[in-house]
Structure 1
Amino acid sequence: MSTFPMTDPSLPPAPSRRKKALIIGSGFGGLSLGIRLQSLGFDTTILEKMDGPGGRAYQKRTPDGYVFDMGPTVITVPHFIEELFALERNGGRLDQPDYPPHVLTGERVREGESGGPRTRDYVRLVPILPFYRIYFDDGTYFDYDGDPGSTRRQIAALAPEDLAGYERFHRGAQAIFERGFLELGYTHFGDPATMFRVVPDLLRLDAVRTLFSFTSKYFQSPKMRQVFSFETLLIGGNPLSVPAIYAMIHFVEKTWGIHYALGGTGALVRAFVQKFEELGGRIEYGSEVEKVLVTDNRGRPVRAPIGRRVARGVRLRGGEEMHADLVVSNGDWANTYLKRVPRAARLVNTDLRVKAARQSMSLVVVYFGFRDDPARPLDLRHHNIILGPRYEELLTEIFGRKVLGADFSQYLHVPTLTDPSLAPPGHHAAYTLIPVPHHGGGIDWNAEGPKLVDKVLAFLEERGYIPALRERLTHLEFVTPDYFANTLDSHLGNAFGPEPMLAQSAYFRPHNRSEDVRNLYLVGAGAQPGAGTPSVMMSAKMTARLIAEDFGLHPEVRSGGVARAEGQGQ
């Protein structure tokens, strides 16, 4: 139901000033929503505590010539990016098909540039193949490229007993993708009725069992079970507990491929900033938000979580107050409520409820530069998944017991194999990401962080992934869960927001429209639909639709249903 009454379309619009919007945080969610709000006619200011944009996607340039993306490096669904670059000031529309027919039927770009004509005005996207090289502990590997023929050939070589299972998995994952992503992806589950309407379909598709259980139904080989379930780790989800609806990631990547922004993910962030500012938006860096200003209808401070509660603006760390018609948090969901929304204004998102939510795991990320060695060329790919000797046991230690195991798995990103501009001539820039428990495990990262980094570097060298790495090393730094907790202000140092388990998905995931405070909204990894760059951009469109609905814009738009591309299911 709309928070504001819809305007009567038969009446001429009443003259009014432009509505002002404040967005806390300049991550992908905040920037995407800022672009959309500018296109809808709002005057939008993004407040960013750091000295540059991106949030988790912040890009760091070092004095010795290296460029490191601090966060996400996997870009998919370039149509979402193209749609943002095509928006114009005061010309925003939210009732167009989310997946136009040419997007649904087009061939995935395998070489050259991609992303559409407007995207190429701002940033260059190139496809990456294979999507990932997945290394197993015995030295074998699987090149995951989304091509069914290539996939079948590799399964035949590694686990021929699973060929028939792959065909069944492929059909099952495709059905989940078509219903869960194409048809329901933009649905905001703001009430139980919306959720319950889709439950029969999810049960029919077997999408509510865990993802690992779903893959195990089709594959006998431990290697194939890992290949077709690991991807949720890149959005903070434990394959042993996330629902099988996340099998759709396989088809999202297969349909639109994996892409890289030349110059790094930071180049895409800068392109979004450019577009936002072209549309009249403003970003203030070094502006840390301390509190969301919440009053009753008469402008008085709220003293109890009853009656009307309205967001009026924010107070910055230095004491300055900024007022607006609406406030959006692109920050961590838990800390938004625990730290920034007064306790007296929260009836739903209470301290008890927020602290009881399960947060995603955290990360240790090692950023390093090293000299190239033509005599020993790297036998790596742009994206490398290096799995340890244990899978289920390691996941249980990270997510369940919250302890550091004797071994580890990692995601090794070597973008200079595609884009040498990120390092000095004759050098490579890389990062490797190791899933670890969040702060709930009580680990002293000042002590354990350096030890783990040493183990990881020794592993990469001794196992032959990067021969003589420590001898060739020219730059080294790393972050631990302390960075996520302190710099990025994530509750318990989580890296991806609430863990995407079944009990925290759809209606049970934080809502993009606050249930507690009128004119307060959320966007990004902590809100619906969840983490990952495409989901965060979807979150921005969801939140923009809710705001448009609440402020009487485009009354044909509703949060639970939108115009769909011709040929999609009803």
Structure 2
Amino acid sequence: MAQNENRKTAVIVGAGPGGLAAAMLLGAKGYEVDVYEKQEVPGGRSGRIKLGAYTFDRGATFVMMPELLEELFEQAGRSVHDYVELHKLDPLYGLYFDRGRTVLMPSSDNEETAKRIQALFPGEEAGFYRFMTDESVKYEHVEPLLRRPFGGFGDYMKSDAIKALPHLKITDTVYGQLSRYFKDERLKYAFTFQSKYLGMSAWNCPGTFTILSYMEHRYGLLHPKGGVAALWDAMVKVAQEHGVRFHMGSPIERIVTQNGRATGVRLQGGETRKADHVVIGADFASAMNGLFEPGVLKKYTPKKLEAKKYSCSTAMLYLGIDGEVDLPHHSIHFADNYEKNVREITESLTLSEDPSIYVHNPSKLDPTLAPAGKSSLYVLLPVPNLKGDTDWVGRREELKEQMLTRLEQIEQLQDIRSRIEEEAFFTPQDWQDSLDVYRGATFNLSHNLGQMMAFRPHNEFEEIERVWLVGGGTHPGSGLPTIFESARISVDLIEKADGKTRKSPTPQALGTAGATE
């Protein structure tokens, strides 16, 4: 299709959450945008999987921070509620300790959560209230830092960063912070397991990230009808309404550069697509290793990428189950020795004999994902990434059997094997081989102090002009809310580079309906 010479052009590499958000925003601002995606479906590592009559989300299974999602769509002149039906979850999740003998189900209502804590852990409810009060102050200071770029050390000298510094708790860990509020180890785990959203150990994750747990309890969790992939469908539709062109099943071979500046992309097959801007939404390390001609990059060479810290990985089971499953929408089943389990995943890089496991049971709420009376069950086992020496090919069947055995230890799933109608299994090796996830690190670059803010790859790519980064491998980090923010930051920087700032388009029929209770 011929380009409009009067419009600035952008090519987006990858239709993951960051690429989709950037496509929506750039399209709404009048850019001529083409999105190239290697996979046949949008969403990247969080795309949709279909097994017979069953539907699954591959990666992310919930939406957090609905206000941010609403803002994103409004900036594109739309209301998310006109495209996606969002259901607020209550309970947030079920937390199963002591082989299911102790079950905490935090509510979306904080007072109810305090009552449930009091019933199981008398006297500890006061710590919950203190945690929420203290974290609200921290969040007010941290949130502005997530909405702007960190392109260099001068960004630390800005007033918002200086004011935030005393509240960041960067010298402490998530586990250390929660130990100030709770005595019972199980309660500490209930408010620290969110470190795994970053693929990190609560014993190593910077104390800043206690805000993850706070955000869940403050803003709640939501399920889009049809799964999180329904959100990707909505974002594609909004982008297309603004003229964005999607090329699915169309991998990029190279980003074309000249004199230190990107001029476009070369597709597999040799066709070149020129563009004023190239936005990389692909996995960061895989993109650096594969999308540039050898020798072009100096800071992100294969050797230097290998030396960086990466998140843990996940082994995944997607099961089409005959019958209903009597578990909450989200449930986490903790190992008897949870700390040992986490250290094996993140430090010794070995498979645990007694692992923790996460089960997603959305069919209880959403009838669109499985046939009537049946269930789409998603099972996640945190495991080491490919830096360890596990033979993921040779031990594939053994690991799958271990996961099924672990599921059978859950009272509600004792007969799970006999009820399986469809199944798919994914290992860290599959993440890398099928979805180009470097080292199988499903949560991207780690969030240690040396890889946060200005130390993380910049939204305005440092090495090549007119290249911009979105996704979990750039600031502000991994997780859907921060990935969306990365797109907003990069799009603002693109406009600044072009010397223009457009107002957001007039919203079309912006709805007032909130999430469905």
Decide: shared fold, TM above 0.5. yes
Partner amino acid for 1:545? Answer: D
Alignment pair present for 1:66 and 2:33: no
Alignment pair present for 1:39 and 2:28: yes
Corresponding residue for residue 191 of structure 1: 152
C-alpha distance in 1, partners of 2:309/2:164? 26
* Greater Cα offset, 200-209 or 479-488: 200-209
Corresponding residue for residue 525 of structure 1: 472
Q: Could you tell me whether the CA contact under 8 Å between 2:170 and 2:449 is conserved in 1?
A: no
Alignment pair present for 1:315 and 2:266: yes
Corresponding residue for residue 365 of structure 2: 418
Alignment pair present for 1:262 and 2:225: yes
Partner amino acid for 2:30? Answer: G
Q: Residue deviations 1:493-523, cap 9 Å, x none?
A: 1101101122211111111111110001110
Corresponding residue for residue 300 of structure 1: none
Corresponding residue for residue 302 of structure 2: 351
Alignment pair present for 1:496 and 2:496: no
What secondary structure, in the 3-state scheme, does the structure 1 residue paired with 2:63 have?
coil
Indicate which of 50, 53, 66 corresponds to 2:42. Answer: 53
C-alpha distance in 2, partners of 1:200/1:81? 27
Partner amino acid for 2:395? Answer: E
Judged with a 3 Å threshold, the aligned counterparts in structure 2 of structure 1 residues 79 and 171 are, in CA distance, closer, same or farther, namely closer
C-alpha distance in 2, partners of 1:488/1:527? 18
Alignment pair present for 1:27 and 2:16: yes
Q: Could you tell me whether the CA contact under 8 Å between 2:115 and 2:125 is conserved in 1?
A: no
Corresponding residue for residue 65 of structure 2: 77
Q: Residue deviations 1:146-172, cap 9 Å, x none?
A: 432222222223322533333332222
C-alpha distance in 1, partners of 2:125/2:225? 37
Q: Residue deviations 1:175-228, cap 9 Å, x none?
A: 2111112x2220211111213552563334534411111111222111011011
Partner amino acid for 1:431? Answer: Y
Q: Could you tell me whether the CA contact under 8 Å between 2:99 and 2:333 is conserved in 1?
A: no
Indicate which of 281, 285, 290 corresponds to 1:330. Answer: 281
What secondary structure, in the 3-state scheme, does the structure 2 residue paired with 1:446 have?
coil
Alignment pair present for 1:166 and 2:128: yes
Q: Residue deviations 1:322-362, cap 9 Å, x none?
A: 11111111011112212212343323333343221101111
Q: How far does residue 269 in structure 1 lie from its aligned partner after superposition?
A: 0.8
Partner amino acid for 1:257? Answer: G
Corresponding residue for residue 85 of structure 2: 124
What secondary structure, in the 3-state scheme, does the structure 1 residue paired with 2:395 have?
helix
C-alpha distance in 1, partners of 2:446/2:64? 21
C-alpha distance in 2, partners of 1:67/1:275? 23
Corresponding residue for residue 176 of structure 1: 138
What secondary structure, in the 3-state scheme, does the structure 1 residue paired with 2:98 have?
coil
Partner amino acid for 2:293? Answer: P
What secondary structure, in the 3-state scheme, does the structure 2 residue paired with 1:379 have?
coil
Q: Could you tell me whether the CA contact under 8 Å between 1:243 and 1:502 is conserved in 2?
A: yes
Partner amino acid for 2:54? Answer: Y
Alignment pair present for 1:276 and 2:262: no
Partner amino acid for 1:283? Answer: F
Unmatched 5+ residue regions in structure 1?
1-14, 93-116, 297-308, 558-570
Percent of aligned pairs with the same residue? 32
Q: Could you tell me whether the CA contact under 8 Å between 2:42 and 2:233 is conserved in 1?
A: yes
Corresponding residue for residue 101 of structure 1: none
Q: Could you tell me whether the CA contact under 8 Å between 2:283 and 2:473 is conserved in 1?
A: yes
Q: How far does residue 538 in structure 1 lie from its aligned partner after superposition?
A: 0.9
TM-score for the superposition, normalised by structure 2: 0.92
C-alpha distance in 2, partners of 1:132/1:497? 24
Judged with a 3 Å threshold, the aligned counterparts in structure 2 of structure 1 residues 441 and 124 are, in CA distance, closer, same or farther, namely same
What secondary structure, in the 3-state scheme, does the structure 2 residue paired with 1:447 have?
coil
* Greater Cα offset, 325-334 or 79-88: 79-88
Q: How far does residue 87 in structure 1 lie from its aligned partner after superposition?
A: 4.0
Q: Could you tell me whether the CA contact under 8 Å between 2:138 and 2:167 is conserved in 1?
A: no
What secondary structure, in the 3-state scheme, does the structure 1 residue paired with 2:463 have?
coil
Corresponding residue for residue 107 of structure 1: none
C-alpha distance in 1, partners of 2:8/2:136? 42
Structure 1 ranges of 4+ moved more than 4 A: none
C-alpha distance in 2, partners of 1:279/1:379? 43
C-alpha distance in 1, partners of 2:392/2:71? 41
Q: Could you tell me whether the CA contact under 8 Å between 1:172 and 1:205 is conserved in 2?
A: no
* Greater Cα offset, 465-474 or 531-540: 465-474
Q: Could you tell me whether the CA contact under 8 Å between 1:509 and 1:527 is conserved in 2?
A: yes
Aligned-residue Cα RMSD (Å) equals 2.0
* Greater Cα offset, 433-442 or 250-259: 250-259
Q: How far does residue 459 in structure 1 lie from its aligned partner after superposition?
A: 2.4
Q: How far does residue 238 in structure 1 lie from its aligned partner after superposition?
A: 2.2
Q: Could you tell me whether the CA contact under 8 Å between 2:168 and 2:207 is conserved in 1?
A: no
What secondary structure, in the 3-state scheme, does the structure 2 residue paired with 1:26 have?
coil
Indicate which of 332, 335, 342 corresponds to 1:385. Answer: 332
Aligned residues: 498
C-alpha distance in 1, partners of 2:372/2:49? 18
C-alpha distance in 1, partners of 2:335/2:18? 33
Corresponding residue for residue 342 of structure 1: 293
Corresponding residue for residue 427 of structure 1: 374
Corresponding residue for residue 395 of structure 2: 448
Q: Could you tell me whether the CA contact under 8 Å between 2:431 and 2:437 is conserved in 1?
A: yes
C-alpha distance in 2, partners of 1:322/1:516? 21
What secondary structure, in the 3-state scheme, does the structure 1 residue paired with 2:79 have?
helix
C-alpha distance in 1, partners of 2:136/2:317? 35
Unmatched 5+ residue regions in structure 2?
505-517
C-alpha distance in 2, partners of 1:130/1:141? 12
C-alpha distance in 1, partners of 2:121/2:70? 39
Q: Could you tell me whether the CA contact under 8 Å between 2:89 and 2:108 is conserved in 1?
A: no
Corresponding residue for residue 230 of structure 1: 193
* Greater Cα offset, 128-137 or 516-525: 128-137
1:393-408 matches, within 5 Å, as 393-408=340-355
Q: How far does residue 62 in structure 1 lie from its aligned partner after superposition?
A: 2.2
What secondary structure, in the 3-state scheme, does the structure 2 residue paired with 1:294 have?
strand
Q: Could you tell me whether the CA contact under 8 Å between 2:351 and 2:383 is conserved in 1?
A: yes
Alignment pair present for 1:409 and 2:397: no
C-alpha distance in 1, partners of 2:271/2:5? 26
